[in-house]
Structure 1
Amino acid sequence: MEVGKHVWPVVGLVAVLFSAWLLYGELRNMSLDDLWDSLTAISLRDWLLAIAGTLLAYAALAGYDHVALLHLRRHVDWRFVTVCSFTTYALSHNIGASVFSGGLVRYRAYKSRGLSGSEVGILVALCSVTFALGAVILMGAVLILEPEFTERFADLLPLQVSTFMGVLLLLGVALYMLGSFLKLPPLKLGSLKLEYPRPEIVLRQLVVGPIELIGAAAIIYFTLPETGNPGFVVVLGIFLTSFCAALLSHAPGGLGVLELVFIIGLPEMAPEDVLAALLVFRLLYLLIPLAVALLVVLGFERGQFLRSRD
């Protein structure tokens, strides 16, 4: 148990160091003046659009929890759910190992609203499925609309194979939907009963999952310059690749991983322009929400402590 407690932090640290080493090789010729020029070149309009993308992403993230609670048939005040979801993702995106770190935050919050430990576990699992569905739908669409996308990372697959992979991804989502309409029986694991999501739940998942990822990718798209910009679909595909790589690496905030994947995936753009857009993304999507989330956690824990003294 003691060894397992330190596994994910070590994995995350190794991922950060390895990504930093590779990233250094990509950026060693870039100057800080070039980076500053790229940051100051971002217009007020693009800043406002990036902020709108951030708000859209976090609104959709709140939808993850609302959908999961509908599945559980548990009613929790929507304001509490929205704040809990925001806090969970703001912390987990920065800490890394999001399933575990986010699960701990949700457990603490939803236990105070009467949910059992198993219900919180199902809620966390369904939120993860919602994210996965969104990523699969959008990556499938990217591979169908832009089959040349895979050439940005490995010029190994024929375009027809990329398109076929996109179709397979969307077929997988269709099978998930079919399981809901067929009303498959629940899966029993000891005392835990896992029910297949109802059709109305699945349809909500298929909406909020893609919206969140589109909003997050829009932050980067709008802050990239127009010159050399390959378009939103390609930027979205690179974002999905980088975000999933960051989640798998367990690197806190995907530090180094996001940057490396984007620099490699956008060879037609100046590295300083790409890095400037990612700095804006980190500010709007990670750092500012983290600061707000810490205040929320402190306020929640203070309230819990005062109630325990009464």
Structure 2
Amino acid sequence: MKKLSEFIWPLIGLAAVVVSGYFLYQELKTTSLAAIWSAILAIPPHRILLAAISTLVAYAALAWYDRIALLHLGVRHISWLFVSLCSFTTYALSHNIGASVFSGALVRYRAYTAKGLSAAQVAVLVALCSFTFFLGTVLLGGFTLVVDPNLLTRLEGKLPGFLTDPKTALVVGFCMLGFVALYVLGSILRLRPLHIRSFKLEYPRPGIMARQLLAAPLELLGAAGIIYFALPEAMNPGFIPVLAIFLASFSVALASHAPGGLGVFEIVFITAMHITDDAQKDAIIAAVIIFRIFYFWIPALISVIVVVLFERSRLAAAIAAPAAVPSTVPEPPVVVPGLDAHELERELKQKAV
């Protein structure tokens, strides 16, 4: 019998799409497709180019996630090109399908087992990549709140007063940065794993930790840059506010389990941008559409082609040499920050059948 969670999370995602769709409709009912299209056409070509470059930066950093995890595993025989294609395909599909770890894990399982990795090693890789993203979100989130504690005042009237207080923002920001500092010290000093109930935090080698702290912010800065460059200069609040709003919107969208965060990302972003008139609303919707096109839809189309070509090559290789079985690389101890790699390995094997 399948786990109840396999049915619950898709239902939660569907409910999130419906609810956010309703609120999004309430926000957009005073605008029109023609107005939004005009706002898209009004974006200068050079800013579209900068948004495209930001997309390349984001996906290059995502490829670095995988490379970092492979270095953690002691795996060095897989080429950068293969890692980049696998990472690109994984994230392009999982961004559109939903936030589930397994939507990306299955693609990696198919790809990396073909290069000799075992299911346990793929589970470690997936878990470490997920934690790297989490670490970057906490780091940048804490940074934005400390640098500009007035950010939460944008949500006055929509959240309880104490949550929008700048003092609250400072406390939360410093706590987030403190978590990252603890992780850094734990890695440098090789501290024992930190246990908080069912949560377990193990510290990787300092070199791996340093790479995580570079790759994750770079990816998030690139992704936020897409929207930043697509916004008109006249109403652009600046990169720090856009980054903070993006982090909040993307995190809520992931937590909702809605496919691609559809509707959830948009309603949070529009609300936090503190719109004062319909012209601003049209411009923000246009920027979000550009973000979806560059970060979600174009990569998804390319990834489908990559998957088809990869599976075709595997099928051809299997027909040509059915007895050939790739040798697995030696497995290091399973050390995964914050996630149970053994449980993930079991899920991977079940879903791959």
Per the normalisation by structure 1, the TM-score is 0.94
Work out the CA distance in 2 between the residues paired with 1:45 and 1:137: 30
Q: Do the aligned residues in 2 keep the contact of 1:71 with 1:197 (CA within 8 Å)?
A: yes
Separation in 2 of the partners of 1:196 and 1:145?
Answer: 28
Instruction: Give 1:238-277 correspondences, 5 Å limit.
Output: 238-268=245-275, 270-277=280-287
1:149 equivalent to 2:151? Answer: yes
Residue 35 to residue 81, structure 1, CA distance change in 2 (3 Å): same
Runs of 4+ in structure 1 displaced over 4 angstroms?
none
Correspondence 1:282 to 2:282:
no
Distance in 1 (alpha carbons) for counterparts of 2:42 and 2:90? 33
Aligned to 1:299: 309
> In the alignment, residue 302 of structure 1 is paired with which amino acid?
R
Q: Distance in 2 between matches of 1:198 and 1:92?
A: 28
The match for 2:96 is 94
Contact 1:220 1:278 in 2 (8 A): yes
Offset from partner CA, 1:111-133 (integer Å, 9 cap, x none):
11111111111111110111011
Q: Which amino acid aligns with 2:241?
A: V
- Partner residue, 2:332: none
Q: Which position in structure 2 is the counterpart of 1:197?
A: 204
Gap regions ≥5 residues in structure 1: 188-193
In structure 1, C-alpha distance between the alignment counterparts of 2:130 and 2:176, rounded to whole Å: 17
Secondary structure of 1:156's partner? helix
- My pick for the range that moved more, 135-144 or 4-13, is 4-13
* Alignment check: 8 A CA contact 2:184 2:209 kept: yes
Report the Cα offset of residue 4 of structure 1.
4.0
Question: How far apart are 1:23 and its partner, in Å?
Answer: 0.7
C-alpha contact 1:136 1:170 (8 A) present in aligned 2 = yes
3-state SS of 1:29 partner: coil
Corresponding pairs, count = 304
Given residue 130 of structure 2, which amino acid in structure 1 is its aligned partner?
A: S
Q: Which moved more, 1:13-22 or 1:2-11?
A: 2-11
Counterpart amino acid of 2:293?
A: L
* 1:76-105 superposed Cα distances (whole Å, 9 cap, x missing partner): 111111110000000000000341101111
Deviation at 1:171, TM superposition (A): 0.9
TM superposition score normalised by structure 2 = 0.83
Please list, as runs of the form range in 1=range in 2, the aligned pairs for 1:153-168 lying within 5 A after superposition: 153=155, 154=159, 155-157=161-163, 158-168=165-175
2:75 match: 74
SS at match of 2:162: coil
Residue in 2 that maps onto 1:58:
59
Q: Is residue 216 of structure 1 aligned with residue 223 of structure 2?
A: yes
The residue matched to 1:105 in structure 2 has which SS? helix
Kept in 1, the 8 Å contact 2:249–2:269? The answer is yes
**Corresponding residue for residue 135 of structure 1:** 137
Matched with 1:190 is none
Measured in 2, the distance between the counterparts of 1:246 and 1:8 equals 13
Whole-angstrom CA distance in 2 between matches of 1:255 and 1:159: 30
Q: Spell out, residue by residue over 1:120-159, the C-alpha distance to the aligned partner (whole angstroms, 9 max, x if none).
A: 1111111011101110111111101111111222343321
Name whichever of 50-59 and 259-268 sits farther off: 259-268
Measure the CA separation in 2 of the matches of 1:173 and 1:109. Answer: 31
Give the letter for the 1:175 counterpart: L
Q: Which runs of 5+ in 2 are unaligned?
A: 195-200, 321-353
Q: Secondary structure at the match of 2:218?
A: helix
Hey, what does 2:342 align to over in structure 1?
Answer: none
Distance 1:195 1:307, change over 3 A: farther
* AA at the equivalent of 1:151: T
Name the counterpart of 2:343. Answer: none
Identity percentage of aligned residues: 52
**AA of the residue aligned to 2:246:** F
